[in-house]
Amino acid sequence: MAADSEPESEVFEITDFTTASEWERFISKVEEVLNDWKLIGNSLGKPLEKGVFTSGTWEEKSDEISFADFKFSVTHHYLVQESTDKEGKDEVPEDVIPQSMQDLLCMNNDFPPRAHCLVRWYGLREFVVIAPAANSDAVLSESKCNLLLSSVSIALGNTGCQVPLFVQIHHKWRRMYVGECQGPGVRTDFEMVHLRKVPNQYTHLSGLLDIFKSKIGCPLTPLPPVNIAIRFTYVLQDWQQYFWPQQPPDIDALVGGEVGGLEFGKLPFGACEDPISELHLATTWPHLTEGIVVDNDVYSDLDPMQAPHWSVRVRKADNPQCLLGDFVTEFFKICRRKESTDEILGRSTFEEEGREIADITHALSKLTEPAPVPIHKLSVSNMVHTAKKKIRKHRGVEESPLNNDVLNTILLFLFPDAASEKPLDGTSSTDNSNPPLESEEYNLYNQFKSAPSDSLTYKLALCLCMINFYHGGLKGVAHLWQEFVLEMRFRWENNFLIPGLASGPPDLRCCLLHQKLQMLNCCIERKKARDEGRKTSPSDNVTNTYSGDAGKSGDQLGPDNLRETDKDKGEVGKSWDSWSDSEEEFFECLSDTEELKGNGQESGKKGGPKEMASLKPEGRLHQHGKLTLLHNGEPLYIPVTQEPAPMTEDLLEEQSEVLAKLGTSAEGAHLRARMQSACLLSDMESFKAANPGCFLEDFVRWYSPRDYIEEEVVDEKGNMVLKGELSARMKIPSNMWVEAWETAKPIPARRQRRLFDDTREAEKVLHYLAVQKPADLARHLLPCVIHAAVLKVKEEESLESISSVKKIIKQIISHSSKVLHFPNPEDKKLEEIIHQITNVEAIIARARSLKAKFGTEKCEQEEEKEDLERFVSCLLEHPEVLVVGAGRGHAGRIIHKLFVNAQRLTESSDEAATMTPAEEELKRMGPPEEKRQNLAADFPPPAGREVILRTAVPRPAPYSRALPQRMYSVLTKEDFRLAGAFSSDTSFF
């Protein structure tokens, strides 16, 4: 036992070699990921169809693993294909080479226009990439690169995965990859060379073939033929021979309503710079073999005009400056400003006239004089003209943000009735040039919550947008808004209806500002009708004289003679106390009707309908068909009633808040019902006045026929008679209708308290307009500006007919209708809408640019024109477009001509100084051989040379299996890259 116990002390010195190292853990993690993604074993897919790399769907899966504390991301890229059935998988022979090795030799998808770089270089449909997780990290040292490559090789061997596995090394911008693919007895090594400067011997095909052959190291003496695919890319950047058709507007031009070369009310459109920056022509020789073509440092057979395949792509200018997008963006920026109109214009707008000429006597007179005297001093119109004088005084003509010509042009555009001597009597002016009222374009305002395209609000939005862009920016906007508010005040005081607004109550489908202007128009209509009624009414001679004079002078009323009118108004003293509508007089409060109180109210309480029947009927409109009163058989008359008060959405919200605050108690509910029944009470009083001796049943038969139920019954004599009674809801105790009927007095509408106080409401609207900051104004009008921009884009698209743009416009409309219906849409969502509109504008501008360059309008033959238009639309929608007929087709000839013109411009600039006209003529008239040699000069040197070399040879021994070998080369001005995939037989090696 003693002997056994001695070794126990040495146990701690034994090293446990079974503990996994960081390297082994990393390999096991790679294997685990490959197993999770089921990338084990061979799965042969269908042969790749032509163009599938571009038209097909690519997907990727990612995971993260770490080597010690260094994190890597593992990404599986694969082309989505129809999965083959299981039976097919079982029949795969054991010794078949992996799918990716077969893809190396596939020639259907060389040079895909849009794909991962490894797809372009190696033609793979599936691969896995291990790359540093952080963009800043890079695997730079050779030992680390070899360690990673060893890990990949071991993981592939352990799992039996046949998908190529790449490791990204060096800095990410270099796109350097090394990798490996393993199959049963075969292996492919993926290698890469990346240089900044290319050695001269590798700039042509013969030098590349030498590298390829030396790398293969084929032991066979007659080397199997090498398949060659070549692509040269030529870049056209010089469009000098084609001026960009869009001219930037002339900001200083102002001719008869045109500002900046644009009419007010019409938005600009188009890009200020050419939205197509470059045209890339790719000339391709897809199937060549060694010996057929010569390309070395001395001579080349590769003439672009003789290339069997031409394809074109256009490079779009990054974020071209677009007028419509800039207009809307600049207007949107106002929404973020905090300043008020007064702060922007520098002085308080409304100042009392007394401040200028204030002295002790004026101060004392203001204290001691009776009330009527200061009225005209502080009257609204006086304040308005004081404000105008102050503006002119403190901000001279030179300092004014808007000059008079521009301002007058805008005001005439907004208020066309101001141009005629007599203002229009109609409620709204409509423009015949606008879209039909039932059209989809016209009804867009319902979806955007903006305003109709022929309305004043819509025109105002466009004018403010234009002024913000061309005439003084924010100051110009504040100045025009100030003038607009003054105009509204002037029209209210002088009974001039506002043009460009639909008659009737505010349209809640429109923006709040439009509703406010409609409300003001309602007030002007009521006030105008009242004043006209006062003219004709013989009851009040003083008022009539005043009204008549005011009416006569109204036509010639200008800013300077308003004061006299206001003075008269002050002297008369009774301008707002007596109201007339349709030659009838309203009373402000019931206390003025003492006679009526003593007459109707008492009889209503004591004697009931019998005494009321003796009252004289008043305020009848016309007889209601054959209906008669139930109790006395008199004809039932429809009364003259007051119209319900129009409401804007903010007033409706206020009202609903007040009603909601009353709570759910019985008292609150009763009070709420009383508040909501003001209109009902007014109508009941009018009905009682028109139909003395009537009952609630009579009123219900006219007002709510459904609540009076008639049924046939048999009377005492056996005859069938109609008997009517009130509905169940009308019989509920303490019913609101019954209570209102009992409290209602027989008062005609003309003697009732007004339901709609137009003076109060108009002043509220005018105050609301006056306190709006430019930012608030821009928020109100932004839906109108977006609405106008969408209409402009639709109009321009209809001229070009681009299918993809139509879809985008529909998306913009649906997106905008969702966003703009919220009271305060988020800035980010509004920016998205504006960005979408700008994108559409850029697409249309690109279409026009390409049409101008390819001369689609100049084509005489209809077929050629259709082909060209189809070609241009494909260029916009696809990454790369094949040119039918290559250099000999119609589009090919145009492209050739574009390059020739560009080359001549560059050559002429170089040679013009040295070449005489005679030499130039000799050059032009040279023999055909020389011409053919000069043809290469039609094109600049290729910007990119791509070559793919493929073959299948046995490696490493003559008796090995013939396996695919591939090398891709690309040479540009900046760099030179070789990407090789070299396969070898590992059965005996």
- CA nearest to 698, candidates 774, 613, 773, 781: 613
Structure tokens at 450: 């903006």
Give me the mean pLDDT over the 538-566 stretch.
35
In whole angstroms, what is the distance from residue 262 CA to residue 466 CA? 9
At 234, the pLDDT band (50, 70, 90 cuts) reads very high
Contact 241, 905 (CB under 8 A): yes
Q: 639 forms bridges with which residues in the sheet?
A: 620
Confidence of residue 536 (pLDDT cuts 50, 70, 90): low
Q: Which residue has the higher pLDDT, 377 or 824?
A: 824
Q: How confident is the model at residue 789 (pLDDT cuts 50, 70, 90)?
A: very high
The winner for highest mean pLDDT among 196-200, 384-388, 550-554 is 196-200
pLDDT at 675 over 70: no
d(CA 259, CA 261): 5
pLDDT tens for each residue of 518-534: 999 999 988 888 787 76
Average pLDDT in the 877-899 region? 87
680-717 pLDDT, tens per residue? 888 888 898 888 888 888 888 888 888 888 777 777 77
pLDDT at 392: 46
Residues 623-642: what's their mean pLDDT? 81
Per-residue pLDDT band for 10 (boundaries 50, 70, 90) equals: low
Poorest-pLDDT segment among 143-157, 353-367, 730-744, 803-817: 353-367
pLDDT category at 718 given cuts 50, 70, 90 is low
What's the confidence (pLDDT) of residue 952? 92
pLDDT band at 84 (very low <50, low <70, confident <90, very high): low
Average pLDDT over residues 97-111: 90
C-alpha to C-alpha distance for 866 and 864, rounded to whole angstroms: 5
Mean pLDDT of 818-834: 85
Query: What integer pLDDT is reported at residue 816 of this predicted model?
Result: 87
Number of alpha helices (DSSP H) and beta strands (DSSP E) in the chain: 36, 22
Alpha helices in 304-359 (DSSP H): 323-334, 341-345
pLDDT of 645 over the 50 cut: yes
Q: Is 795 helix (H, G, I), strand (E, B) or coil?
A: helix
Q: Half-sphere exposure (CA, 13 Å, Cβ side) for 245? A: 13
Residue owning tokens 């793979």: 124
CB atoms within 10 A of CB 452: 27
Task: Take residue 445 and report the two structure tokens written for it.
Answer: 């305002």
Per-residue model confidence (pLDDT) at position 703: 84
Please give the pLDDT value at position 710: 78
Q: pLDDT (tens digit, 9 = 90+) per residue, 492-504? A: 988 889 888 888 8
The CA distance from 456 to 413, in Å, is 9
Q: Is the pLDDT of residue 426 over 70?
A: no
Q: At what angle do helices 512-536 and 758-770 cross, to 10 degrees?
A: 140
pLDDT > 80? residue 251: no
Tell me which long-range contacts 154-158 makes (C-beta under 8 A, separation of at least 24). 154/27, 155/27, 155/30, 155/31, 155/34, 156/180, 156/181, 156/182, 157/182, 158/27, 158/31
Residue 865 CB neighbours (<10 A):
16
* 781 contacts 830 by C-beta, under 8 angstroms: no
Q: Which is more confident, 372 or 837?
A: 837
Name the range with the highest mean pLDDT among 85-89, 568-572, 633-637.
633-637
Alpha-carbon gap, residue 234 to 267, rounded angstroms: 39
Closest CA to 580 of 529, 525, 644, 645: 529
CA neighbours within 13 Å on the CB side: how many for 778? Answer: 28
Contact by Cβ (8 Å): 555, 422: yes
Q: Which residue has the tokens 């309008």?
A: 857
Peptide bond into 927 cis (omega under 30): no
The percent of residues above 70 in pLDDT, for the chain, comes to 73
- Which is higher by pLDDT, 907 or 415? 415
Which residue carries 């993260």 as its tokens?
Answer: 64
The token pair that represents 465 in the structure block: 């947008």
| Structure confidence at residue 969 (pLDDT) | 95
**Which pair of tokens denotes residue 409?**
């042009």
Q: Give the pLDDT confidence of 726-750 residue by residue, as tens digits.
A: 888 787 777 778 888 888 888 888 7
User: At 537, is the secondary structure helix, strand, or coil?
Assistant: coil
**What is the tens place of the pLDDT at every residue in 274-297?**
888 888 999 999 999 888 888 888
CB distance 520 to 501 below 8 Å: no
In this model, does residue 90 exceed pLDDT 70? Answer: no
Confidence of residue 856 (pLDDT cuts 50, 70, 90): confident
Long-range contacts of 606-611 (CB under 8 A, 24+ apart): 609/693, 609/694, 609/695, 610/693
Model confidence pLDDT, tens digit, residues 106-115 = 998 899 988 9
In the predicted structure, residue 982 carries a pLDDT above the cut 90: yes
Does 602 score more than 70 pLDDT? no
CA–chain centroid gap for 860, Å, is: 38
Which residues are CB-neighbours of 635 under 8 A, at least 6 positions away? 623, 624, 627, 628, 629
Q: Which residue has the tokens 């109204």?
A: 554
More confident residue, 605 or 470: 470
The answer, yes or no, to whether residue 761 has pLDDT greater than 70, is: yes
Residue with tokens 């050059």: 923
Closest by CA to 956, choosing from 380, 347, 219, is 219
| 6-15, 453-462, 963-972: which is most confident | 963-972
Lowest mean pLDDT among 120-129, 478-487, 922-931: 922-931
Q: Mean pLDDT score of the chain, rounded to an integer?
A: 76
Q: How confident is the model at residue 121 (pLDDT cuts 50, 70, 90)?
A: very high
Residues in CB range of 892: below 8 A, 6 or more apart: 310, 883, 885, 886
Structure tokens at 790: 């969408």
Minimum mean pLDDT among 119-128, 719-728, 784-793, 847-856: which range? 719-728
User: In what helix (H) or strand (E) does residue 692 lie, and over which residues does it extend?
Assistant: none
How far, in Å, CA of 746 to CA of 168, rounded?
Answer: 95
The identity of residue 973, as a single letter, is: K
The region, left, alpha or beta by phi > 0 then psi within -120 to 50, assigned to residue 498 is beta
DSSP state of 183: E
User: Residue 8 gets which letter from DSSP?
Assistant: G
**Averaged pLDDT for residues 296-320:** 88
Q: Name the DSSP class of 270.
A: S
Burial degree of 770 (CB within 10 A; 0-12, 13-18, 19+):
middle
Helix, strand, coil shares of the chain, percent, nearest 5, are 50, 15, 35
Mean pLDDT of 355-359: 43
The residues, any chain, with a CB within 8 Å of residue 924's CB and separated by 6 or more, are none
Distance of alpha carbon 262 from alpha carbon 253, whole angstroms: 9
Q: Which one is predicted more confidently, 603 or 124? A: 124
User: Which structure tokens are listed for 762?
Assistant: 């108009």
pLDDT band of 871, cuts 50, 70, 90: confident
Q: Are 831 and 837 in contact (CB under 8 A)?
A: no
- The residue ranking higher by pLDDT, 683 or 164, is 164
Alpha-helix runs per DSSP H in 573-640: 594-596, 602-605, 609-613
Are residues 263 and 292 in contact, defined by beta-carbon separation less than 8 angstroms? no
How long, in residues, is the chain? 989
How many angstroms separate the most distant Cα atoms in the chain?
142
- The DSSP bridge partners found for residue 193 are 978
pLDDT value at 908 more than 50: yes
Which neighbouring-strand residues pair with 76?
61, 128
**What interhelical angle do 380-394 and 562-572 show, nearest 10?**
150
Neighbours of 931 (CB within 10 A): 12
- Higher model confidence: residue 309 or residue 929? 309
- Residue 394 clears pLDDT 50, i.e. is over it: no
Contact 836, 466 (CB under 8 A): no
Helix (H, G, I), strand (E, B), or coil: what is residue 434?
A: coil
Confidence of residue 74 (pLDDT cuts 50, 70, 90): very high
Query: For the chain, how big is the Rg over CA atoms in Å?
Result: 44
Distance CA(969)–CA(925), nearest Å, equals: 40
Q: What pLDDT was estimated at residue 655?
A: 73
Residue 576 and residue 185: Cα distance in Å, rounded? Answer: 106
